[in-house]
Amino acid sequence: MAPHATEETSSGHLIENSISPNQSTIAQLIDALSLDEKCNLLSGANMWETHTIPRLGIQSLKTTDGPAGVRGSRWTDGTHTTQIPCGISLGATFNPEVVRRVGKILGSETKRKRAHVLLAPTMNISRSPFGGRNFENFGEDPFLTGTLASAYIDGVQSEGVGACMKHYVANDQETRRFNMDEKIDERTLREIYLKPFHMALSVNPWTAMTAYPKVNGEHVDMSQHLVKNILREEWGYNNLAMSDWGGLNDTVKSILATTDLEMPGPPLRYGRALKDAVINGDVSEKCHINPSVERLLKLLAKAGRLQGPGAAVTEDHSSEATRCEEDEEEFDDPKTRQTVREAAGEGIVLLKNDSGALPLAPASLKKLAIIGPNAKYPTTGGTGSAIVNPYYVTNPYQSIKDASKSINPDLEVLYERGILTHLQPPLLGDCLVAPDTKQPGMQVDFFDSDRFEGPVVATTNWHDSLVYFMSDGDVPLSLRGTRYTYRATGILRPSVTGTYDFSFSSTGKAKLFIDGDLAIDNTEWTQISGNFMNCGSVEQFASRELEAGKSYVVSVDNLVVPPPTPAHDNTLFHKISGVRIGMLYRHDTDAMFRNAVTAASVADAAIVVVGHNNDTEREGSDRTSLALPGRTDELIRAVCAVNKYVVVVTQSACAISMPWAAEPAAIVHAWYQGQECGNAIADVILGAVNPSGKLPVSFPNRIEDHGSYEWFPGDAASDQAHYAEGVLVGYRWFDAKGLEPLWPFGFGLSYTSFAISNISIQGCIDASGSGTILITMTVMNVGRVQGSEVIQVYTSPSPVLKELGLSASPKSLASFIKIGLDAGESRQVQIPVQGDSFAWYAAEDGGTGRRGWRVDPGVYSCFIGTSSRHIVSEVSILIG
């Protein structure tokens, strides 16, 4: 085997080169591995890493979440990292190049966290506005998703680490996500939900991850149809496929389906169980185990983790979170900050701008009111896999204030929160410090007993009042698999005297104490909530009178026992241990509301920043309403009633209702923008950035108008979800049914205007679907400022579909291009449309007598416009 060497990466690290990943080298390793070793390799060693085989120089592979930033080894409170805009915001950029640049940042930071595979991007479809993980997706259209996901993967992997396309396939809801059986017809599956994954194969993603739910009766990791037949044989994907965390559902069926790796470890269904399946004759070592091992070894070779026999490879059984975190690097540089800020600004969508209300001109104002719960406390990202510990967070209030006063130092900026919108009191934050280190957060001491007695086995520190052990990896080695306890302690110093409401949720048998007095006994809980991935208790509450500046000891004693939750298929989340303490000063909410309206009434202009938060839009549960939380609608209307110059900024991961849309002068939809949230919003509102974002999802006037309404999320009692809207997802439904959306897919305004002219079409597509057409046009910026426009091309469906009585969208996105132009500048652009844009999938029950993808001869239309409803021209093309 070839010796290994070192080389310097673009980020300045020295990494070891792997041994040659050629076929003969891999074959030699497979021959040298015992059955025990093979079965161990196909399962995680811990939360994030695979096993090592020291005698053969096989090192572990480290994975890390996730789609919103590279968080490293800890689920929460890990090393600092760059928090990028969420997936749906990147979707709104309609700009593959900006997404590629963000992916490149993530690839670089993956290396700095000493990881080899980033568990991203999320490529599922925003089928319903209620989907709890819509913040991770790129939107409702498969072509847009596939295009941007490919750019994301390409950017990550350009840095010499792997990306993971997930979740293959149809991980589109959170309700009963481990158990739900999604009934999806083959044509819909192919044309909508599988298409982005097929497109992404063009950039050769190093890994793929199977989805949690069942599709047509089988969990995806067990599905030979989806994994073996389509992904492997039909598409030719021969890289590693892993389970989602805790989502490996069957020893025999999963390996037969060619799902290679069970994550996380220690294994439950691979490892020893897989070896037993071989011994029992249910699985073939040659036909099933060896191909999966080969794919894993090839991945290890790419990642530089095969060093060859005799190399110094050791196994480390200490806490992997602690061990890995020690090696993780932080690197907060100006260039990265600027790229993330640009990406965040480019995803913001200007929905309304009456009479040129924006950009705001601070020089002409004496008083500016900034109002709303998200103004000082914005939602910067999602929950679950999207949780990161950012280097910093900017908020809209401070960013707008600072930028405005730099223009007009005499400007008076008023602030009022107005309303509270969270579902549970927020964490204690800066009011809490650990007793020994005096650093923000809590100190956690572990005991080898169930009585919180004896010597402290180990101590860890958490940055806030949320303690979250995702697996045994966060627990001292000596306590794993035993009955143990831990005590979390912090010193609380409130800044205001008054009544405070404490909330408490936990796994295990936990008690909350304040200054030694029992505040909440949560040892006998039975009712679950969405906390701790749906394995924690509902919130319990207690109130205390606290004095400003006085110190109070807040502590929790928790006996770690399995939660009393219903059985589900996932093998990880019921192992979570954690406690959450919330605290909220008891405000006079009516006075808060009145103060906000008063501030607006005396201001020359008002900016209202509202939206969802990590309570109301989150992994683990789906939304149930289009409405913004709490009294948001009431606040906006009250502010608009007293001020005619109101700008509403909304934050959400998908569509929301806007019953007040006619009232404000301007509406800006800002998604979740990561650490540059405040700066990006300020850039757009003040005109430093001309908005160019486009909606990657449709906003309905009412939920009943949405194609998913009747069928989402399905029947939780029977665990059945029918995708009965078929291929009519998102804007396709509105078009097919003749319904007017509140805001259409692809829509977004600018501070300038564009004209499209001189449209012509060249090229041809034959009856097999081969070929490309080029649509040429002149685009001119006819306004007074520089700006960017997204030119979108939609294609009509096959005329045969109507003859067969099959549903079809009047048009589907087939291509797009984003072009930036100076004021008065014009440019000729060409937009390619591939032949497969006119293809549809004929299932056996389609009545066609032909199964598979087909392009039918006939006359088709190409619609050119700036949204799905703003079409400026239609051209025809003859196929066949």
Residue-wise DSSP of 681-695: HHHHHHTSS------
Average pLDDT on 216-238 reads: 98
pLDDT of residue 474: 74
pLDDT of residue 359: 98
Strands 646-651 and 605-611: parallel
Q: Which two tokens stand for residue 645?
A: 């110059």
Give mean pLDDT, residues 297-322.
71
To the nearest 10 degrees (0 to 180), the angle between helices 142-157 and 96-112 is 40
Long-range contacts of residues 843-852, Cβ cutoff 8 Å, at least 24 apart: 843/185, 843/186, 843/187, 844/186, 845/185, 846/187, 846/804, 846/806, 847/804, 847/805, 848/800, 848/804
pLDDT of residue 593: 98
For residues 441 and 488, the answer to whether their CB atoms sit within 8 Å is no
For residue 93, the Cα-to-chain-centroid distance in whole angstroms is: 16
How far apart are alpha carbons 613 and 88 in whole angstroms? 15
Residues 6+ apart with CB under 8 A from 281: none
What confidence score (pLDDT) does residue 789 get? Answer: 98
pLDDT above 80 for 667: yes
- Structure confidence by residue, pLDDT tens digits, 790-800: 999 999 999 99
Cα distances (angstroms) measured from residue 773 to each of 22, 769, 827, 842, 875: 40, 11, 19, 24, 12
Lowest mean pLDDT among 64-78, 124-138, 357-371, 397-411: 64-78
Domains along the sequence of the chain with CATH: 429-585 (2.60.120.260), 752-879 (2.60.40.10)
* Residues listed for the chain: 880
Question: DSSP of 149-207, one letter per residue?
Answer: HHHHHHHHHTTTSEEEEEEETT----TTTTT-EEE--HHHIIIIISHHHHHHGGG--SE
What average pLDDT does the segment 825-839 reach?
97
Cα distance between residue 880 and residue 878, in whole Å: 7
Give the pLDDT confidence of 339-358 residue by residue, as tens digits. 999 999 999 999 999 999 99
List of E strands, 692-738: 720-722
β-pairing, 666-669 vs 646-651, is parallel
Both tokens of residue 715?
């029947």
Handedness of CA 137, 140, 142, 147 (dihedral sign): negative
Per-residue confidence band for 849, with pLDDT thresholds at 50, 70 and 90? low
Average pLDDT over residues 183-212: 98
Catalytic annotation present for 244: yes
Q: What is the pLDDT of residue 315?
A: 58
43, 124, 227 from 211: Cα distances, Å: 17, 10, 11
Q: Which of 126, 211, 218, 203 is nearest to 162 (CA)?
A: 203
pLDDT of residue 416: 98
Q: Quick one: pLDDT at residue 471?
A: 64
Specify burial of residue 393 (Cβ count, 10 A radius: 0-12, 13-18, 19+).
Answer: middle
What pLDDT is recorded for position 785? 97
Percentage of the chain beyond pLDDT 70 is: 94
pLDDT tens digits, 116-151: 999 999 999 999 999 999 999 999 999 999 999 999
619 — pLDDT class (breaks 50, 70, 90): very high
Has residue 3 got a pLDDT over 50? no
CA-nearest of 285, 350, 312 to 689 is 350
Token digits for 362?
A: 């601070």
Look at residues 457, 390, 359 and name the one whose alpha carbon lies nearest to residue 76: 390
Q: Which two tokens stand for residue 146?
A: 């596939």
Query: Could you give the residue ranges of the DSSP H alpha helices within 280-333?
Result: 290-302, 320-327
Global confidence as pTM: 0.95
pLDDT of 451 over the 90 cut: no
What's the whole-number mean pLDDT along residues 106-114? 96
Positive or negative CA dihedral for 351, 352, 356, 357? negative
pLDDT of residue 1: 32
Quick check: bond before 66 cis, omega within 30? Answer: yes
| CA nearest to 856, candidates 838, 874, 843 | 838
| Phi, psi (degrees; rounded to nearest 5) at 685 | -65, -35
DSSP-assigned letters across all residues of 344-371: HHHH-EEEEEGGG--S--GGG-SEEEEE
Q: How far apart are CA 819 and CA 830, in angstroms?
A: 11
Beta bridge partners of 651: 611
Catalytic residue among 65, 154, 244, 683: 244
Task: Give the three-class secondary structure for 712.
Answer: coil
Percent residues over pLDDT 90 in the chain: 84
Among candidate residues 308, 125, 298, 145, the one with its CA nearest the CA of residue 207: 298
The per-residue pLDDT of the chain, averaged, comes to 93
pLDDT at residue 858 greater than cutoff 90: yes
**pLDDT 10s digits, 471-516:** 666 788 888 878 899 999 999 999 999 999 999 999 999 999 999 9
Three-state SS for 403? Answer: helix
Contact by Cβ (8 Å): 706, 700 = yes
Classify residue 743 as exposed, middle or buried by CB count within 10 Å of its CB (0-12, 13-18, 19+).
Answer: buried
Average pLDDT over residues 729-756: 98
| CB-based contact 41:262 (threshold 8 Å) | no
C-alpha–C-alpha distance, residues 142 and 126, integer Å: 10
Residue 313 pLDDT: 60
Helix (H) or strand (E) holding 841: strand 840-842
Q: Burial level of 139, CB count in 10 A (0-12/13-18/19+)?
A: buried
Cα–Cα dist 852/796, whole Å: 19
For 394, residues 6+ apart whose C-beta sits below 8 A from its C-beta are 675, 676, 677, 678, 679
Rounded to an integer, what distance in angstroms lies between the CA atom of residue 362 and that of residue 340?
25
Q: Which of 360, 337, 354, 355 is nearest to 684 (CA)?
A: 360
Mean pLDDT of 553-560: 96
Per residue, what are the HEC states of 323-339?
HHHHHCCCCCCHHHHHH
Q: Are strands 214-215 and 181-183 parallel, antiparallel or unpaired?
A: parallel
In the structure, what pLDDT confidence band is assigned to residue 385 with cuts at 50, 70 and 90?
confident
Residue 820 has pLDDT above 60, yes or no: yes
Q: What's at 603, amino acid-wise?
A: A
Q: Would you call the peptide bond into 334 cis, given omega within 30 degrees of 0 as the criterion?
A: no
Listing DSSP states for 474-513 in one string gives GS-GGGTTS--EEEEEEEE--SS-EEEEEEEEESSEEEEE
Q: For the packed helices 96-112 and 334-347, what is the interaxial angle rounded to 10 degrees?
A: 140
Compute the average pLDDT of residues 23-29: 86
Kindly give, in sequence order, each residue whose CB lies less than 8 Å from that of residue 27, ignoring residues fewer than 6 positions away: none
